[in-house]
Structure 1
Amino acid sequence: MSYSKLSRAQIAARVAQDIPDGAYVNLGIGLPTKISNYLPKDKEIFLHSENGLLAFGPPPEPEQQDADLINAGKEYVTMLTGGSFFHHGDSFAMMRGGHLDICVLGAFQIAENGDLANWHTGASDAIPAVGGAMDLAVGAKKVFITTEHVTKNGKPKIVKELSYPVTGKQCVDRIYTDLCVINVTTEGLKVVEIVEGLHFDELQNQTAAPLINSLED
């Protein structure tokens, strides 16, 4: 049976479903920022950006863009009623102080124990871009990862042990890929969702760490 991978937009929409009402959430640069476009209107969710924003909304219409209202990815945003902006140092104090319920980050690699690598591939010609990822990885109460399941060259991103420089140790709680949703537990990597038409064995073949089939739990 054939299967279709989720698009980046579909991954973002899937993550948005799992963000609870009243949560304080940081959306990392790249794919995670797209999640703001899919947050349910009936939930009050407070988005945080490390450059000093709290309670911002989706992108504005082109004619309403304000160069002073951008997120950490330099993308235009809107401010919601009651939203605020503040010093970069205060923003990092929020991140480091355990005040964020969830952060959503991208990844180069995720290890089976929840270790995360997302700032450098270790290649000599690569440009490191850690930003606030280390602070978020250890400071947020829950860490969600959004990523394609394999690299453009077909190499698994979910591995037994990291081969890239570490961002955070045992920090990842849940992984959302274009093929599945995985919970990182003390028992191992539990697959809780899989795209229609993809067999579990094929998913395992594209993963360099053992998976636990929890689809019928």
Structure 2
Amino acid sequence: MKTFCCAAALAVVLSGCVSAPTKSLEQGSTLQGKHVVVSHYAKPDFSAMTAGKAAFGLFGAVAMINAGNDLVKSEGIEDPAIEISQRLADDMAAKRSATVLPASNKIATDDSPASLVKVYPGADVILDVKTINWMYAYYPSQWSKYHVMYVARVRLIDGKTGALVAQHLCNVDPTDPKNPPTSDALRADHAALLKESLHKAADTCVSDAEQKALRV
């Protein structure tokens, strides 16, 4: 019964996951002189998955998200997509001679390329980084120990046509499996360990996206 409830709750939590095959920037493509704009989204739901809440299945999943969002708000935890976007934009400017346009205060509500082109007009390329899932969860075999999971999609989109130029989906668990923390440890000192874990996840996403898709 416990396994079933956990699976049901996890299905709800991960319902936003997407399939995004890696597409590398074509050989010979250049970003030199291209005007790049960075997209922005509202902060996504964060899930704090505990064994107690998982026992309540779908109702527990809602409680996990509420608890996670409360933690994110109270401790000022930033969406890692912000760090990933900034670092990728900086590297595209420094290493590929792209021109990054000033940050837009427009928030995208639809991640379809056609919509993004309308929300962020005037750019040659849209750098679109979106957090698909971020959460912490207990190990099914060790309920008192937790790991952090982070999934983000990185895309370069043609700012005129909406065509997909490059794409990478990063799926990262920065937790040391040999020394996983407790829930209390993740939340202690204003969630310092959780913030550090999310920073490590962002670091991996930047590296992987640059090497596998953006050729930066």
Please indicate the TM-score interval, normalised by the length of the shorter structure.
Answer: under 0.3
TM-score by length of 2: 0.24
Structure with the larger helix share: 2
